[in-house]
Structure 1
Amino acid sequence: MSDKTSFSCGEYLDITQVSNLYGRLQKSLQKSVNIELKADKVNKADTAGLQMFVALKREISTTDGNLIWKNPSEGLINSAKLLGLAEELGLE
């Protein structure tokens, strides 16, 4: 297993993308328990998308891994704050 694997979040972290993103994230978890999320291009994030990352963060924490945000966009941060998930996701 590698030290960390990078994952591009794309432009949309919403319900239309959750299934696809979840499958890709599970493959990333097979490579490393430390996931670096490239989130600079995220334009839209909704409850479903952010809940998926809450679940992922909890799953990773059971294996002593980390969820690392790289350059989270203002849109992502604002959505997380609006939904009350910024602190839990480490986006504050």
Structure 2
Amino acid sequence: MTNRTSFSCGENLDIAHANSMHQRLQKSLQKSAVIELKADKVSKADTAGLQLLAALAIEVTRRGGHLIWKKPSDTLLTTAQQLGLSQALMLENT
């Protein structure tokens, strides 16, 4: 395993992209338990997309790793706050 792997969240964190994102996240988890999420381009986020990232946060923590947020967009931060997922996504101090 490497020290850290980067993952681009892209523009859409939504149900339409959840399956492909899940597959890409699984590959990232195989590489490292420390995942840097590049989220500066997120312009659309919904419950399904953020639930997937919350599940990732749980798994990363279980493996002794952590998430590193790289410039989360205002859309992502606002949606996570509205859904009450900021803490679960480890976004509170970003």
TM range (shorter): over 0.9
Q: CA RMSD in A?
A: 0.7
2:44 paired with 1:50: no
Instruction: Give 5+ residue unaligned stretches, structure 2.
Output: none
Residue aligned with 2:48, SS: helix
Query: Which runs of at least 4 in structure 1 moved beyond 2 Å after TM superposition?
Result: none
Instruction: Give 5+ residue unaligned stretches, structure 1.
Output: none
Percent identity for Structure 1 against Structure 2? 59
After superposition, give the CA deviation of every residue in 1:6-63 in whole Å (9 maximum; x if it has no partner).
0000000000000000000000111111000000000011000000011111011111
Rounded to whole Å, the distance in 2 between the matches of 1:38 and 1:47 is 19
Number of residue pairs matched?
A: 92
Rounded to whole Å, the distance in 2 between the matches of 1:33 and 1:90 is 15
TM-score, scaled relative to structure 1? 0.97
TM-score, scaled relative to structure 2? 0.95
**Which amino acid in 1 is paired with 2:63?**
T
Q: 1:29 maps to what in 2?
A: 29
Residue aligned with 1:17, SS: helix
